[in-house]
Amino acid sequence: INEPLRGVYTYGQTVTYSCNEGFKLIGASERTYVIRSPRYKQCKHSLKAPPGIENGRINEPLRDVYTYGQAVTYSCMKGFKLIGASERTCSGDETFQPSPPWCQGSLFKWSFSQRQPILHTLHILYVSLELYLLHLCSFVHQ
């Protein structure tokens, strides 16, 4: 907290408080004194852990509180790609910045370790590596 310049204030004087970067003032920024000793304001400087992301996780062990400048990093589960910034930082406005990333993927992603033959209605088809969708249609016309 940036305290007022004088230690003693008289009745009716107004003092303006402000916080250092990374802290937020709790209560009003101005105070008009009606008593001899001022009651100083407080600055808040911590946040609870940010939320996780679907199909992903926060890499570090979660803390109870985060202070200004502390960061978390995100990653996605196998088969998903991280979209957005992988790191978010506790900022001075009581939020984590930038916006949270998200994990893009497909539930239909199939991965084969080798080419596998499939016999279906006398046709041999080969399924290649990393197919996203496999759909076989066979019609026997007589």
Q: What is the CATH number of the domain that holds 78?
A: 2.10.70.10
Beta bridge partners of 79: none
- Both 57 and 73 in a single domain? yes
Residues above pLDDT 70, as percent of the chain: 48
C-alpha torsion angle, residues 19, 25, 29, 32 (rounded to 10): -100
- Both 20 and 61 in a single domain? no
Query: In this structure, is residue 39 part of a structural domain?
Result: yes
Query: In this structure, is residue 133 part of a structural domain?
Result: no
- Both 96 and 86 in a single domain? yes
pTM of the entire structure?
Answer: 0.48
pLDDT tier, 136 (very low <50, low <70, confident <90, very high otherwise): very low
**Tens digit of pLDDT for each residue in 70-96?**
899 999 999 999 999 999 998 877 789
Separation of alpha carbons 43 and 65, rounded Å: 15
Tell me, what's the pLDDT at 33? 57
Separation of alpha carbons 42 and 1, rounded Å: 7
- Both 40 and 62 in a single domain? no
- Both 57 and 98 in a single domain? yes
Q: How many domains does the chain have?
A: 2
Which structural domain range is residue 100 located in? Answer: 46-105
Is pLDDT above 80 for 97?
A: yes
Distance (Å) of CA 13 to CA 2, 87, 117: 17, 45, 87
- Both 50 and 101 in a single domain? yes
Query: In this structure, is residue 36 part of a structural domain?
Result: yes
Is pLDDT above 60 for 47?
A: yes
